[in-house]
Amino acid sequence: MNIRNIAIIAHVDHGKTTLVDKILHATKVFRENQATGELIMDNNDLERERGITIFSKNAAVTYKGVKINVIDTPGHADFGGEVERVLKMADGVLLLVDAFEGPMPQTRFVLQKALSLGLKPIVVINKVDKPNCRPEEVHDAVFDLFFHLDATEEQLDFPTYYGSGKHGWFNDSLTEIDNIEPLMDGIIKHVPPPSVQEGSLQLQITSLDYSSFLGRIAIGKVSRGVIKENQQVALVQADGSIRKTRVKELYVFEGMEKKKVAEVPAGDLCAVVGIEDFNIGDTIADAENPEALPVISVDEPTMNMTFGINNSPFFGRDGKFVTSRHLRERLLKETERNLALRVEETEGGESFLVYGRGILHLGVLIETMRREGYELTVGQPQVITKEIDGKKCEPYETLVVDVPEEFASKVIDLVTRRKGELLVMETKGEMQHLEFDIPARGLIGLRTQILTATTGEAVMAHRFSDYKPWKGPIPGRNNGVLISKNQGKTTAYSIDKLQDRGTFFVDPGEEVYAGQILAENVKPGDLVVNATEEKKLTNHRASGSDDATRIAPKTLMTLEECMEYIQHDECIEVTPNFIRMRKVILDETERNRQAKKMAAEA
């Protein structure tokens, strides 16, 4: 069959989406005069803003008469659920590695999944135009990684290509050329055509799309048989139940678009319209003889957060969707396509426990909901503990930090304070390469501290390693916060007088309410302040006493930074236009009562 299905996997920022751009341009998918821009596949606003891939995407190109289905995958381990399911559609993987950084934690994570599925790997060493790059050393490091991951003899005999995605060339040697043809030829030569079994129809749904005209669209690879338009099929669900249904329309991928077809043979990827109430992992099978494929298993989440309705005094001012019913419907809809996410209702029904892979995974969900017009409050992220052999265990992560030599001691100090253990310390060019074993709890809030200590020079990455015994208390935020005493608009006069007490998160003229966090205190312990007091005007003037107020600009915090900053008695109010940090209990008297009660119980 003249089809190749290939997934592009790599650590974040190693150039996957840029390589897909070059493949699309090299195979003349676009007209000569068509303006395409950069990072064509990252078409979601959030992806473009953050410069990362969040959702896996499909494209198809034709090269020398062979159709190549290309799957672009995310690099962050937080979105590993996306990678694990789409690898089922591929027959080979393009492992992209940075010629300077070499294999990184997420490279290991996604490669392990690909090798266990028996996919044929092609190694691409990218960015060989960077100063201080070391392609030969990186090649050896990749071989060692394959060996450690128990690759088969055949997988260890992988072909390697070198090049620069940015400058649009890849070759099987370090000789620079002006195209990526050697890599395209290598894909056709080394990636096997899809292995097709004899038998009736089987198609596993590994991804889904949505269209306002067609509704939910199931995407997957036809494992065997042929799927046809208007065909009567059986939908075999994860719980074993079987439902008869009909295929209305069929599409295959062509370039960046979908093309309508009458039938799709085994081995090709397709999009199926007309199937109702399906979930990822379900099998579309023959109506008379339905046989299910093994259900897709995804690694369990390691972190949870409480999502609740917005119960602040500014409730309903900003968003369109504000009730718990809206929240429940949106979260359940998200679990359909986001396999690594789980949602549980709490007793009152007003809030939900949402389980995810990490802060970024949950942060992207909250940011997406905010942009859709939802108002909600979210609590402090908590790690999920397990009991193994009678011991309380927690998730541990492998943390990798590349940092200039002069900052290495600061990084080691910060990580060890949070119960991290240094495993590896080696020099890579001008950088120190540090590897730690650290409880997942210790990572919350660590990124901001490390970036501050290293003046933004550190490069951090981490991945889940294992559940290990509980490490005891980990020190959290040292400083307290300044809390608003009343509701109203902040004034420059008040903020000016309070500036020596803390660093403010609000500017003069912003509306605040009682219980809202206004600033970080310079000392431990919380302080209730009045930031809405007006200056009393008199008809006396004195030179010197009427100096203009000099106010430092407010500290802007992203949603993820807020999630890492808050403590157990605090939460974040998220609306389409505002992100505010606040105390869970807004009333000061009630807060003090609760604090005394907890102290007495302790």
Q: Is the pLDDT of residue 38 over 70?
A: no
Three-state SS at 456 = coil
pLDDT, one tens digit per residue, over 309-349 is 999 999 988 889 889 899 999 998 888 777 778 899 887 77
Nearest to 529 by CA among 484, 586, 481: 484
With 0-12 / 13-18 / 19 or more C-beta atoms within 10 angstroms meaning exposed / middle / buried, residue 301 is buried
Burial of 410 (0-12, 13-18, 19+ CB in 10 A): middle
pLDDT band at 369 (very low <50, low <70, confident <90, very high): very high
**Phi, psi angle pair for 107, to nearest 5°:** -60, -45
CA angle 349, 350, 352 (to 5 degrees): 80
The more confident residue out of 333 and 413 is 413
Residue 214 makes CB contacts below 8 A (sequence gap 6+) with 249, 273
Ligand-binding site membership of 126 (annotated)? yes
CB–CB of 18/104 below 8 Å? no
The pLDDT of residue 488 is 92
Widest CA span in the chain: 96
pLDDT at residue 346, as a whole number: 85
> Of 382, 383, 381, nearest to 563 (Cα)?
381
Instruction: State the virtual CA torsion across 43, 45, 49, 51 in degrees, nearest 10.
Output: -30
Task: Check if the beta carbon of residue 93 is closer than 8 Å to that of residue 158.
Answer: no
- Cβ atoms of residues 190 and 121 within 8 Å: no
- Out of 104-118, 418-432, 439-453, least confident range: 104-118
Q: Which of these, 156, 158, 160, lies nearest to 182 by C-alpha position? A: 160
Q: Is the pLDDT of residue 21 over 80?
A: no
The pLDDT confidence band at residue 577, using thresholds 50, 70 and 90, is very high
Beta strands 120-126 and 160-164, pairing class? parallel
- Taking CA atoms, 281 is separated from 227, 368, 600, in Å, by 18, 24, 50
Judge whether residue 153 has pLDDT over 80.
yes
Q: Is 390 annotated as a binding residue?
A: no
Q: Binding residue per annotation — 43? A: no
- Output the pLDDT for position 76: 62
Convert the pLDDT of each residue in 192-234 to its tens digit: 888 877 778 888 888 777 777 777 788 888 888 888 888 888 8
Distance CA(206)–CA(221), nearest Å, equals 8
Per-position DSSP letters for 75-126, written without gaps between them: -SGGGHHHHHHHGGG-SEEEEEEETTT-S-HHHHHHHHHHHHTTPEEEEEEE
User: Can you give the pLDDT at residue 42?
Assistant: 45
130 belongs to an annotated ligand binding site: no
Sheet holding 249-254, edge to edge: 242-246, 232-236, 283-286, 202-211, 215-224, 269-273, 249-254, 257-261
CA distance 527 to 523: 10
List of residues 6+ apart from 340 with CB closer than 8 A: 79, 80, 81, 82, 298, 299, 301, 356, 357, 361
Mean pLDDT of the chain: 83
Give me the mean pLDDT over the 464-482 stretch. Answer: 86
For residue 18, say whether it is annotated as part of any ligand binding site: yes
Distance CA 433, CA 455 (A): 17
CB neighbours of residue 560 within 10 Å? 19
Integer Rg of the chain from CA? 27
> Tokens in use for 267?
């081995």
Distances from the Cα of 331 to the Cα of 24, 282, 354, 365, 389, angstroms:
35, 20, 8, 9, 34
pLDDT at 81: 63
Residue with tokens 């979908």: 258
What is the number of other CB atoms lying within 10 angstroms of the CB of residue 478? Answer: 9
Q: Is the pLDDT of residue 47 over 70?
A: no
pLDDT band at 409 (very low <50, low <70, confident <90, very high): very high
Q: Which two tokens stand for residue 258?
A: 């979908």
> Is residue 22 annotated as involved in ligand binding?
no
Task: Kindly give, in sequence order, each residue whose CB lies less than 8 Å from that of residue 492, ignoring residues fewer than 6 positions away.
Answer: 508, 509, 549, 551
16 is in an annotated binding site: yes
| Selection from 321, 287, 286 nearest residue 307 by Cα | 321
User: Which of 78-87, 202-211, 528-537 has the largest mean confidence?
Assistant: 528-537
Domains in the chain: ranges and CATH: 3-190 (3.40.50.300), 202-286 (2.40.30.10), 303-383 (3.30.70.870), 386-469 (3.30.70.240), 481-536+547-572+585-601 (2.40.50.250)
Residues linked to residue 398 through DSSP beta bridges, in sequence order: 437, 463
% of the chain at pLDDT higher than 70: 90
Report long-range pairs for 499-503 (Cβ below 8 Å, ≥24 apart).
499/551, 499/552, 501/527, 501/529, 502/527, 503/552, 503/555
- Owner of token pair 């910060």: 414
Q: Is 454 annotated as a binding residue?
A: no
